[in-house]
Amino acid sequence: MSDAQLAPNMPKWMVDHTELYLKSGGKDGHMYKINLPNLPEREVPSLLLTTVGRKSGKKYLFPLFYGRHGGSYYIVASKGGAPEHPGWFQNIAANPEVEIQVGTEKMKAKARVAEGAERQAMWTDALKFWPPYADYQVKAGSRQIPVVVLDPIR
C-alpha cells in the first residue's frame, strides 16, 4: 500500500485520519472516535481500502468504516447520500482486486456487491455502527446504496 496515494479532493478529516492510521501502522486510527449531533461519542471500526483508478491506473487510498460478515469485511458505498456512487466504488466495479489494511493487518481482497438477504443482513448491521447510513439512503433517493463485500485472498 506504500505506493498508493490519497484520493484527490478527500475531506481534511479523512486525510488526517488516514495519515494517523498509516503513521502508526494501524495501531491508531483503526477505531475512529466521532461525535454525532444528539448522540454520545462512538467508536467506529475503519479500514484502509486501496483501489486502482479506473481512468488513471494509479493506486488510491480511502479510509472507510467497515463491518465483519463471516470471514469477510464489508463497506458501504454511501457517499453521504449523494446521487452517484463514490469514486472508490466505480474503481472496484472496473477492477475488483483491492488491498485492505484492517488495524495492523494488510491483505489483498476481492470486492463484490452484496445482494438479497446477504445485503440486508450487512445493511442492518451497518446501521448499528453508523446510524447516519439510514439518512444517507433517504438522501440518495432511488439510488440503492451498495454494500460491498471484501473477501480476503489468502
Q: Model confidence at 93, in pLDDT bands (50, 70, 90)? A: very high
For residues 47, 50, 51, 55, the Cα torsion angle rounded to the nearest 10 degrees is 130
Domains by residue range for the chain, with CATH = 5-153 (2.30.110.10)
Express each pLDDT in 14-36 by its tens digit. Answer: 888 899 999 999 998 899 888 76
Task: Please state, for a pLDDT cut of 90, what percent of the chain lies above it.
Answer: 77
- pTM for the predicted model, two decimal places: 0.92
Express each pLDDT in 60-78 by its tens digit. Answer: 999 999 999 999 999 999 9
Contacts of 68 (CB under 8 A, 6+ apart): 74
Express each pLDDT in 100-136 by its tens digit. Answer: 999 999 999 999 999 999 999 999 999 999 999 999 9
DSSP conformation letters of 81-142: G-SS--HHHHHHHH--EEEEEETTEEEEEEEEE--HHHHHHHHHHHHHH-THHHHHHHHHTT
CA–CA gap between residue 119 and residue 43 (Å, rounded): 23
Pairing mode, if any, of strands 97-102 and 72-76?
unpaired
SS3 23: helix
What's the maximum distance between 2 C-alpha atoms anywhere in the chain? Answer: 42
CB 89 within 8 A of CB 146: yes
